[in-house]
Amino acid sequence: MLPFICSAGLVALAVSHPTPARPRLVVLIAVDQLRPDYLDRYRDQWSGGFRRLLDRAAYYPDGQQDHALTQTAPGHASMLSGRFPEHTGILSNARGVEDPTAPLLAGSGTGASPRRFQGTALYDWILARDSAARVLSVSRKDRGAILPVGRARGQVFWYVDGTFSTSRYYGDTLPAWVVRFNQRQGAQHMAGATWNPLLPPDRYAEPDSMPFENNGADFVFPHRFPDSPGKVAQDLPSFPWIDSLTLDFALEGVPAVRLGSREGTDLLTISLSATDAVGHAFGPDSRELHDMLLRLDHWLGRFMDSLGVLVPSNQTVFVLTSDHGVQSFPEWTTGVRHEPGGRVWLADLVRGTAANLRMRYLTDFQFEFDDGLLSADLPLLRAHGINPDSLANLLAEQARSRPGVTRVFTPATLRAAPATDREARLWRHDLGPHAGWLFAAVLAPGFTWQSSGGSTSHGTTNRLDTTIPIAFWGPGIRPGRYSRPVNSVDIGPTLAALVGVTPTEPVDGVVLREVVTVPSTH
């Protein structure tokens, strides 16, 4: 069994503190691709963080990312802003945080910033009342670290090639505590290690013999890390231990940034991405995903114990959620469940149209297909005498003929759809007035937006992709399981009410009455 990557070595202390009117620390834990059914499926095996959630939290198992492009960037942008992608401006991963004008301070790759993010988020609302408020946001992914904080500048870091880094949007140098953490080379120490199941084989109901997993290679335990320290630093995001390292980094940052050390409220956001990597490669029905969650449960419990030494638990509010769910492997859906399923990709349709128009007009109209959405430069089309509505109708008709596609909206049909139409509502929550799109397609359950096999994905309007857990626990929050549907955009307004601040702009979400008692206005 591989160890928890933790250099802080903290353990919980039993300390009695009076409960404050407002918490000193709010902690958002976003587990990328965490489906709520996992929490019940493995309920009897939880002993750490997930056990605390089920025992102590106000828990909503029917949380929703109430938008159509269920991807990482829009999901994270909505959590603490209280607003749908149509209002945050973060429509997709491709239109997320990539920014070459904000280069990385360490590591290779494209720079990143929140410049596309529109409006404000919880940290801005706290700052409006308390200019001394502090924030620390960490993730394996740049978008997971950046977007929960919005446009605010603060301590924001993500994993790059074995180190935690940031971009010039946030500063010119890495803080000394980050440099010290990186110098310990926690990722590189995993070179040559082996991922074996945490529990005996009979504790896993899932078969460990599905050749469609992981591109048909290394789909059976044990899974070995690369022997080269440099290679393991690059590959660690594919293994569960990236979450352990991320939690360790967050824990080191709490005293370094002095979070929770004053009377006001500070913010800590942690986005954990191993569930997404393992879920894509092995699927939600795999032994690997089961084992990954068991480890995360343990690491979350250790993290909460250690954080309780630094900031007393009766002065800390936690919220746990996710950015999206995931579909089963289509091969699992058809071969094991004997239900319809498959992969759909419409890029060939797009490429043909784009090539024909480029040849005719000697112009690139910026056609792009992404998880059901076909976008283009509409003003440029009009400038060349091309009617976008007519083109949209033509392409939508072709898309409807593909197996697995159940509906295709054009801007005209989306405007005409009734408010009670769920799929139309999800697309409306994505597509603001400047989205520049031609059609938005919907898939049948069991189908994924993918061009090839070897993995599974998310990104559809199907409930396995949109449904997420939402849970709050901390001082004054009464535990309970609430089955009514709620939305990810409710998290920001609810936390704002808990810490006694007000959103500085209109939001789409509401304060959840089971978490915060809202005074009557009558």
DSSP conformational letter for 123? H
Cα separation, 508 vs 517, in Å, equals 19
Tell me the two tokens of residue 65.
């990312």
Residue whose entry in the numeric block shows the structure tokens 């933790």: 6
Distance of CA 211 to the CA centre of its chain: 28
The answer to whether the pTM exceeds 0.85 is: yes
Question: Please, what sign has the CA dihedral across residues 298, 299, 300, 305?
Answer: positive
Q: What is the pLDDT of residue 126?
A: 98
Instruction: Burial-class residue 210 by CB neighbours within 10 Å (0-12, 13-18, 19+).
Output: buried
φ/ψ (deg, to 5) at 503 = -55, 140
Q: Cα-Cα-Cα-Cα dihedral of 386, 389, 394, 400, to 10°?
A: 150
Q: What is the pLDDT of residue 21?
A: 65
Cα separation, 202 vs 194, in Å, equals 20
Domain ranges of the chain: 25-332+462-499, 342-444
φ/ψ (deg, to 5) at 425 = -60, -45
Q: How many H helices and E strands in the chain? A: 19, 18
Q: What is the pLDDT of residue 5?
A: 44
CA-wise closest residue to 116 among 144, 151, 83: 151
Q: Give the number of other CB atoms < 10 A from CB of residue 199.
A: 11
Q: Give the number of other CB atoms < 10 A from CB of residue 2.
A: 16
Angle between helices 287-310 and 274-282 (to 10 degrees): 180
Query: pLDDT, tens digit, for every residue of 124-141?
Result: 999 999 999 999 999 999
CA-wise closest residue to 113 among 70, 158, 68: 158
CA distances 258 to 30, 254, 267, 323, Å, are 22, 6, 11, 28
CA-wise closest residue to 12 among 319, 307, 314, 253: 307
Chain mean pLDDT for the chain: 94
Cα separation, 342 vs 357, in Å, equals 31
Cα separation, 5 vs 245, in Å, equals 6
Query: pLDDT, tens digit, for every residue of 280-331?
Result: 999 999 999 999 999 999 999 999 999 999 999 999 999 999 999 999 999 9
DSSP-assigned states of every residue in 227-287: SSHHHHHHHGGGSTHHHHHHHHHHHHHHHHHTTT-SSS-EEEEEEE-HHHHHHHHH-TTSH
**CB burial string 485-521: b at 16+ within 10 A, e below:** ebbbbbbbbbbbbbbebebeeebbbebbebbbeeeee
Q: Give the number of other CB atoms < 10 A from CB of residue 348.
A: 11
- Which CATH number describes the domain made up of 25-332+462-499? 3.40.720.10
Residue whose entry in the numeric block shows the structure tokens 């502090």: 134
Phi-psi region of 496 (alpha: psi -120 to 50; beta: other; left: phi over 0): alpha
Distance of CA 154 to the CA centre of its chain: 20
CA-wise closest residue to 109 among 88, 150, 140: 140
Q: What is the pLDDT of residue 466?
A: 98
- Pairing relationship of beta strands 266-272 and 135-139 according to DSSP bridges: parallel
Q: What is the pLDDT of residue 57?
A: 97
Provide the CB-side half-sphere exposure for 492 (13 A, CA): 31
Q: What is the pLDDT of residue 518?
A: 54
Q: What is the pLDDT of residue 6?
A: 42
Given the candidates 3.20.20.140, 3.30.70.20, 3.30.1360.150, 3.40.640.10, the CATH classification of the domain at 342-444 is 3.30.1360.150
Cα separation, 54 vs 282, in Å, equals 26
Q: Which residues pair with 195 in a beta bridge?
A: 223
Sites in the chain below the pLDDT cut of 50: 1-20, 519-522
60's enclosing H/E stretch is: strand 58-64
DSSP conformational letter for 371? T
Q: What is the pLDDT of residue 16?
A: 37
